[in-house]
Structure 1
């Protein structure tokens, strides 16, 4: 069994392109051109150069000595928090804006939840001199104010999504409406491994620089180019997809995906899609989706603005259904405590999304000689107010 996308845009039973007719030309233009453009030597040269000189790659693979001692295993962090803009998101936005330029697009739209993808999109638009509109749920605008300010400083227009739960799902709906109305000059930079084919594969390929570097760095540090476990948080799941990519078919590597259980899986306030979801279609692809018996999307909840999405990317749905991935759900409280623990033991303040992945060693034992790589997908600057409120700091 392959865990990569097939020629029709499916991961097993999940994926595809379920789109309104108005969007067909845009998506088809991308599908027929993305691999050719990405494999072009001049594109690769520009992409690699910007990742190195602008983003600051390669990011370090850091051995967390004190945390490893506490949990009796060998824990490494892939430090995506050290990228320019503070998260993994910029790997994808650099790639997609170069691709949009090759396709002759003049205007960029994006959706954002935690604001990191919005900041990364606004950043590359400023870099390339392109118009930028970012859609963001009204609730997320309130809880991620520093990122909203960054986007505006960078010249982006931030448009609030006022419908539904007024979070990530609704921002995505608004962005898709914009794209339908502006099909010719606009490229939609989707921030996660979700959406109609080829987006999940394209975003994953741009993010696969993460697992590519992990292999090289582990060879240097451990004398082998694979970990025993690779751990990442998933909402839509681009940081996870990038962390897993080069290990998907390597059965020596256990893939661990960490979802947001919110106030508890059965509390009615959760975003644990693997536990609560079933097959459905959202934002252009077939995947696992939290929904009612009559197919209405269930509103997700998480303390993390980046994980409260009612579905997962189709790659992750396939990893779950095929049992290739081990799925763990982490509550708000456990995630917040894990974030504080990392801060106190290693001097790194993580994003709350990342803190969900950090809770795994508390919930699941690892062996003494095992190598565990956790993708530290973002830094916690944007979440300081949430930390302050939670811990009464």
Structure 2
């Protein structure tokens, strides 16, 4: 297995993680992407930027987020001990605020007059609207109509925060279509606007930039776990759609060969049912989407396939290029959890530990619940609980008849 895994070595100067990534954009947009890359490389070297971001993480977001030992859940399952990195306790309720603050500060540094973005479950939209309100930059969020109806609490928050919410009705009216719509709007004026991508996807430098901002999750978790237990966890798991929360926690553990890293994808209604899942790394193949090379779920004609997940934030036919690379070299194992198992994890964690998780995060919890009984009691599984389930509570209650 190739072991050049130091995050500082990836991507290369052209934005590639092995054969994945890059900058597959029209010539007139390449300059805009290069300008963002140059501004990012410049700003992260500035101590005043690092100090401001650290202060906001501490006093605005509430970092460091704690690690909670889910003792009752672990005891009920038998076997391994399950621990939760509580990103759900962050301001705005998820990990998304970590990179949104960085992107908003970058936009301000570059003198941009508007920030454009997509959102699926609404967590990126809420976090970006929050960050833009904080720094005083107008914000426009594109969201699929299906997700608007499903994630009403987050829609309300975005509107309260002052963003311009654009409903996307094309295609399946979900995350992929929201990305298309937001990107088209950005293309109209890439000089004065910036597209704040919500995951480790898209053209360079976004997979690198979002990963870097999210890497605080893993740095904290590694130090916290080692300090408390005198060793590292045996497993670290996180849900994967685009893959930002997973790259955030995985990055700090990439060189720890004794730590098994597990990304958990949405199997939806079954990975044997085309169009009814979004398990890109499990059954997809290398392709191109949204300005990057990565694993993609495609139709026979090469167009992106229809996808489905009960979790709106995982409903995407592509995946981050670094995840694609880590799959190929065998450093990260990718599993899939279906809607029913996800719902069971959602309800179980709520009723056994009093923690209502996001449906996205529930995929990683479900995998831990599946795995724990097969392992010894001295084995530790650390789950990145990437978000809380306030946004999903009404939907789940209606679906389950609660």
| Shorter-chain TM band | over 0.9
Return the match for 2:18 from 12, 20, 23: 12
Matched, 1:295 2:330: no
* Partner residue, 2:41: 35
Aligned 8 A contact 1:22 1:180 in 2: no
Determine the C-alpha separation between the residues in 2 that align with 1:245 and 1:118. Answer: 24
1:137-176 matches, within 5 Å, as 137-176=144-183
Return the match for 1:380 from 377, 385, 389: 389
Return the match for 2:143 from 136, 143, 154: 136
1:132-281 matches, within 5 Å, as 132-224=139-231, 226-268=232-274, 269-281=276-288
* Partner residue, 1:391: 400
Determine the C-alpha separation between the residues in 2 that align with 1:262 and 1:71. Answer: 27
Deviation at 1:72, TM superposition (A): 1.5
Determine the C-alpha separation between the residues in 2 that align with 1:55 and 1:27. Answer: 28
Deviation at 1:189, TM superposition (A): 0.9
Aligned 8 A contact 2:14 2:23 in 1: no
Determine the C-alpha separation between the residues in 2 that align with 1:391 and 1:221. Answer: 38
Return the match for 1:363 from 357, 365, 370: 370
Deviation at 1:250, TM superposition (A): 1.9
**1:183-207, Cα deviation, whole Å (9 max, x unpaired):** 1111111110001011001000000
For normalisation by structure 2, the TM-score amounts to 0.95
Determine the C-alpha separation between the residues in 1 that align with 2:292 and 2:29. Answer: 13
Return the match for 2:98 from 91, 100, 116: 91
Secondary structure of the residue that 1:72 maps to in structure 2? Answer: coil
Deviation at 1:351, TM superposition (A): 0.3
**1:298-347, Cα deviation, whole Å (9 max, x unpaired):** 01101111111001111111111111111110000000001111111110
Deviation at 1:36, TM superposition (A): 2.4
Secondary structure of the residue that 1:359 maps to in structure 2? Answer: helix
Aligned 8 A contact 1:227 1:371 in 2: yes
Determine the C-alpha separation between the residues in 1 that align with 2:318 and 2:335. Answer: 15
Determine the C-alpha separation between the residues in 2 that align with 1:180 and 1:140. Answer: 24
Determine the C-alpha separation between the residues in 1 that align with 2:171 and 2:319. Answer: 19
Return the match for 1:21 from 14, 18, 27: 27
Determine the C-alpha separation between the residues in 2 that align with 1:223 and 1:362. Answer: 24
Determine the C-alpha separation between the residues in 2 that align with 1:374 and 1:101. Answer: 34
For normalisation by structure 1, the TM-score amounts to 0.98
Segments ≥4 residues shifted beyond 3 Å:
none
Return the match for 2:126 from 119, 144, 152: 119
Determine the C-alpha separation between the residues in 1 that align with 2:355 and 2:45. Answer: 36
Aligned 8 A contact 2:39 2:106 in 1: no
Change (3 A) 1:11 1:152: same
* Partner residue, 2:4: 2
**1:43-93, Cα deviation, whole Å (9 max, x unpaired):** 000000001100110001111111222232121100000000000000000
Matched, 1:63 2:65: no
Aligned 8 A contact 2:83 2:381 in 1: yes
Aligned 8 A contact 2:82 2:368 in 1: no
Deviation at 1:146, TM superposition (A): 1.0
Determine the C-alpha separation between the residues in 2 that align with 1:249 and 1:362. Answer: 26
- RMSD over aligned CA atoms reads 1.1
Deviation at 1:39, TM superposition (A): 2.5
Structure 1 unpaired stretches of 5+: none
Aligned 8 A contact 1:194 1:314 in 2: yes
